[in-house]
Structure 1
Amino acid sequence: MQNAQLTILGCGSALPTKRYFPSAQILTLREKSYLIDCGEGTQIRLRQMKVTNTRFGHVFISHLHGDHCFGLVGMISSFGMLNRTADLHIHAHADLQRLLTPMLQYFCADLPFKVIFHHVDPEKHQLIFEDRSVSVYSIPLKHRVPTCGFLFEEKPKERNIIREMIDFYQIPVSYIHKIKQGEDFVTTDGETIPNTRLTTPPKPPKRFAYCSDTAYNEKIIPIIEGVDCLYHEATFAEEELVRAGKTMHCTARQTAEIAQKANVKKLIIGHYSARYSNPEIIYNEAKAVFANTIAGEDMKTYEF
C-alpha cells in the first residue's frame, strides 16, 4: 500500500506567476484522492500531470476568494467533455452553491454527472465528511472572508495477521476478521490465545492538515497537534509582517512557529506572494524555526 501523498497543482497566491498557479492540490490516502481548493488553471495542471478526470470524487473549497475556486467551472465543464459519469461532490461555504449554480446551468447544462454541494460552516470545527477509510474535519481560520482549513484523518486499520500462527492454531477462516479487529481466540480445548500472539499492530493512521488562507492563529494548534504533514500558507517574508497582518495572512516565521508549537512531523509551505520570484527567502525564514520544512512547488508530489 502506498504512503500518503500530497500533489501540489498550485501553491501561489492571488496573482498567478509563470512558476506558481493559484491554490490547488490533491491528497491521496488509502489509494483514494481528494481535491483541495481549485484555483484558476487547476484543470491545466491536471492535464499536465496526466491526472484522469475520475481520479477524485470530492472537492474541498477553503473559502470564496477567486484564487481558491475560480477553476471550478472550467474543470467541471471539461469533465463533461471527457464523459465523466461519476458524481462530483463539492464541500464548501453555502454561498458557493448560490454563486456557482447559475454558471453551471448556463455553461454546463448537459453534464453526464451530478454536481452535489455539501455546505460547510467555516466557523465550526466539525466532521464534514467520512467514508470507510477517512474522516475530514473543518478547521476554522482567520481571514477576510469566512475560511476554514481541513483535517484529513485515516481511520484506524485492522491488525495484521501472522499467517504462521493462524495455521498453527488451525483458526477457521470465518474467525479471522474478528482477530483482525482485536479479539482473542479460544481453542476447542478452552485455551485462550491472546490477540498479540496472532497479530501485529497496524501502522498508525496518517493525518494531514491544510491551512490556507489565514492570519497567525494559535487556536488551530490543538486541532492539528502532531499531524504527519501540515500544509500551511506562508505568503510573506518577515519584512512584510505589517502587510501580512493587514491582509490576514502569515509570514514564513509565523507559519513555522505554528508547526513547532503543534509538534507536526512535516511542514510544507506555500501560497507565496507574487512579489517573490523565488521562495528561498521564505523557505529560509521558516526552516530557521522549524527544521523539517519543505518549500512547496507546483507539480511535485510529497510523501508522508
Structure 2
Amino acid sequence: MNKFQVTILGCGSAIPTTMHNPPSQLVDLNEKLFMIDCGEGTQLQMRKFKARISKLHSLFISHLHGDHIFGLPGLLSTLSMLGRTGDLHIYAHKEINLLIKPFLIYMGKHMSFRIKLFPLNPERQELLFENKSIRIFSFPLKHRIATNGFLFEEKESPRHIIREIIDLYQIPLKQIPEIKEGADFITSDGTIIRNDILTSPGNPPRRYAYCSDTAYAPEIVPYIKNVDLLYHEATFAESELIRAGETYHSTARQAAEIARAANARQLVIGHYSSRYNELGTLLKEAVAVFPNTELAAEGKVFEL
C-alpha cells in the first residue's frame, strides 16, 4: 500500500503564540508531497520535522488571510536558492497575484523556476489535479473572504490476482494486467474463468479532507462524506459560540458535528485561538459528539 500521510506543520490561528505555528500541512501521497497553506515560519517547520523541501510538488492555499500565506515568499526564495528547476503549481484565489507578482519582480532573474497559478473557484467543487492514482478537489467553505477546502483521494486500486491461480491455470504474465483491471481468463480449451475467482478486491481508496477556516457549514458535508480523515478548524470552545459566529469560525463541538454528519472515520481539530493555553476543553467538547477525535499538534503525523 502506498504512503498516505498528513504532517501538521502549524495548527494555530491569526495571532502568533509560542505554542503553535500558523497553519500549514504536508500531504505525502503516492510519492508526491503537497502543501496546504503556508503560514509564517513554514519552511523552518519543514526543516525541523525533516520534510524534504525538494520533493514539494504543489501548494494549495485555502484563503488569503495572512496566517495562511505569509510564509510563502520565504519558501519560494529558498526553493530557488536550492536550485529547483521544475514548475511550481500554486492553487489559490486569483488575488494572490497581489503577493506573488511583486515578489517575482523583486527576485527577477534570480528565480530558478516558474510559478504557475491556478485560481480556485469559491462557489463550487472543482477537480484541481489528477493522475493515474490520485485526485485532488477544492470545495467552498464559509468564511469572511473566499475560502476553499481540499479533498485528497486515491483512485480505486486494481484488483489483486491470487498467486495460486496463476500457477493453476498457467496464466501468461502478459494477461495479468488485464485481469487486475477486471478481465476474465479463457483457458486453452475455451473455459472461461471468472475474474472474481482469479482475483480479490483491491485496497479501498483512502480520502483526506481539509476544512480551515470556516463557520459551521453543514452544506459542506456532501463534499467530504465518508472520508478516512477530516481536519476541521476548531478555533473556539462552546463558551465563545457567539464570537465564533461573528468571525466565521467554528467551535470544537461544531467541528465534531460536521465529522459525525459526514460519517468520517477520524477527526483532527486545529486552528486554535491564541486565548487557549491548554486544549483539554476543546478536545472534551469534540469527543462528546465524535469520540474518534484527536488534537492537531506541530510535528504530528497522521497515517491513512
Q: State the TM bucket, normalised to the shorter chain.
A: over 0.9
Code of the aligned partner of 1:90: I
Counterpart residue number, 1:272: 272
Counterpart residue number, 1:59: 59
Q: Deviations over 1:122-178 (max 9, x none)?
A: 211121211222111112111000001001111111111212211221111211110
Gap regions ≥5 residues in structure 1: none
Change (3 A) 1:108 1:19: farther
Cα distance in 1 between the residues matched to 2:31 and 2:199: 24
- The answer (yes or no) to whether the contact 1:127–1:136 under 8 Å persists in 2 is yes
The percent identity for this pair of structures is: 53
Counterpart residue number, 1:189: 189
**Deviation at residue 302 of structure 1 after TM alignment:** 1.1
Change (3 A) 1:263 1:206: same
After alignment, is 270-279 or 1-10 more displaced? 1-10
**Are 2:75 and 1:75 equivalent residues in the alignment?**
yes
After alignment, is 274-283 or 211-220 more displaced? 274-283
Change (3 A) 1:71 1:108: farther
Counterpart residue number, 1:287: 287
What SS does the corresponding residue of 2:37 show, helix, strand or coil?
Answer: strand
| 1:80-91 superposed matches below 5 A | 80-91=80-91
Q: Deviations over 1:62-113 (max 9, x none)?
A: 0000111111110010111122222211011111134312212203642222
**Deviation at residue 2 of structure 1 after TM alignment:** 4.5
Cα distance in 1 between the residues matched to 2:192 and 2:16: 64
Cα distance in 2 between the residues matched to 1:138 and 1:171: 43
- The answer (yes or no) to whether the contact 2:32–2:57 under 8 Å persists in 1 is no
Counterpart residue number, 2:39: 39
Counterpart residue number, 1:177: 177
Code of the aligned partner of 1:229: L
- The answer (yes or no) to whether the contact 1:180–1:199 under 8 Å persists in 2 is yes
What SS does the corresponding residue of 1:112 show, helix, strand or coil?
Answer: coil
What SS does the corresponding residue of 1:129 show, helix, strand or coil?
Answer: strand
| Equivalenced residues, count | 304
**Are 2:115 and 1:150 equivalent residues in the alignment?**
no
Code of the aligned partner of 2:16: P
State the TM-score, normalizing by the size of structure 2.
0.97
Cα distance in 1 between the residues matched to 2:72 and 2:107: 12
Code of the aligned partner of 1:97: N
Code of the aligned partner of 2:275: R
**Are 2:117 and 1:117 equivalent residues in the alignment?**
yes
| Runs of 4+ more than 6 Å apart | none
Q: Deviations over 1:180-215 (max 9, x none)?
A: 101111111110011112111111100110000000
What SS does the corresponding residue of 1:256 show, helix, strand or coil?
Answer: helix
After alignment, is 210-219 or 192-201 more displaced? 192-201
After alignment, is 223-232 or 80-89 more displaced? 80-89
What SS does the corresponding residue of 1:291 show, helix, strand or coil?
Answer: coil
Change (3 A) 1:8 1:108: farther
